[in-house]
Structure formats: C-alpha cells, structure tokens
Amino acid sequence: METQVYQAILERRPAQIIPRLKEMLTKPDPALGYLNGELRFWLGWAQEVAGDHAAAQESWRQARSELEPFLNEQPENYSLIGDLALTNMGLGDKAAALALSERAMAAVPIEKDAVDGPLPIEILARVTAQMGEPDRAVAALQKLLSIPYEGPLAVNVLLTPALLQLDPMFDPLRNDPRFQKLAESPAPKL
C-alpha cells in the first residue's frame, strides 16, 4: 500500500488513494502495531500534497498519538523513530523532528550497520529539507547518493537523482544549486 501511496504522491495526484487509506484506517488492525500510525502519516502526506492542509494536520496529530506509545516499548526501533520524526515534521515541530531524526541515526549508526544505517540519514535529509536546513539536507543527500542502500519509505525505494526531481518533500530545495546538481547527476552504478 505504501508503494501505491508514494507513487500517487510522486505523480502529485494523491486524490484517488486518500479514500482507500481512510477506509483502511477506519478499523485499524491491532496486529499491525505501530504500522497503523505509519499509514496515518502517509494519509497526512497524501492530504498535504492534495492541498488539504487541515486534514493533513489532523491525520498527523492522530498518527503521533498512535506512534508515541510504541516508542516506550520499542525505544531503539529506528523505523518507528523515523515515522515519528516525519510526523512531527509534518506538524511543524522542528525541534522534535530533528531530535527524533538524530535519535534514529544513533540507534542504527551507518558505521555499524551499512544496510540499515542509511535509512535514518534519509529521514534526516527529508526533515532538514522541510524544516529549512538546506545545508544539512544537501549533505545527507550527497552521502545517500554515494552509497547503496534500501530506502525507508514505501518498499525499499532508495533515493536517486530522478526521485529527487519528483519527491515533494524536497520542494524547498528546488532552487538550491547544490540540490539541482544532485538531482541532475547520473544515477551511480552500484
């Protein structure tokens, strides 16, 4: 489902996916645990891209309230921490979003885990792009584009120059020449 939502967001046509997400979340499956909150984050992102800021804010507030209790049970779950970072980013809570991004990176440092370590770096890139820290965002993106990894969003979709051109989370960086260079560079041969 996340892949379908991400595709709709990349195409900037999320309207068709929003009702499906809402339907899924009317009766969340308790067996999914924190993933229900993650789906609610996706709903908020789709609503934001669709131009419904108020609905997105409400979805993100609900996502945060669903995700936070799991953090006490799973304090080292970098995926959960990343979901909370992105949710707080959507809510405009820069301090919480940055702190959670850094916490996720500390939970799975790239120096100790080359497979999963890049995932929180992508979360940091997204958060800093949205929260007005282009230097940190570009530095994180430069690192990510130089290494192989599996992305944290959708089903292991890693960032590429082509995705940078499409992903609305990076819209605040569009006029930055450093970002433009990254987005126009050829994809690395991994």
Residue 188 confidence (pLDDT) above 60: no
Residue 101, pLDDT score: 97
Q: Which two tokens stand for residue 168?
A: 């609305």
pLDDT for 186: 75
Average pLDDT over residues 131-158: 85
Which residue's structure tokens are 């960032």?
159
Res 177: pLDDT: 97
- Average pLDDT over the chain reads 92
Q: Average pLDDT of 154-167?
A: 83
Q: Could you tell me if residue 11 is left (phi over 0), alpha (psi between -120 and 50 degrees) or otherwise beta?
A: alpha
Q: Kindly report the CA angle at 113 between 110 and 115, in degrees rounded to 5?
A: 95
How much of the chain exceeds pLDDT 70, in percent?
A: 95
Average pLDDT for residues 24-52, to the nearest whole number? Answer: 94
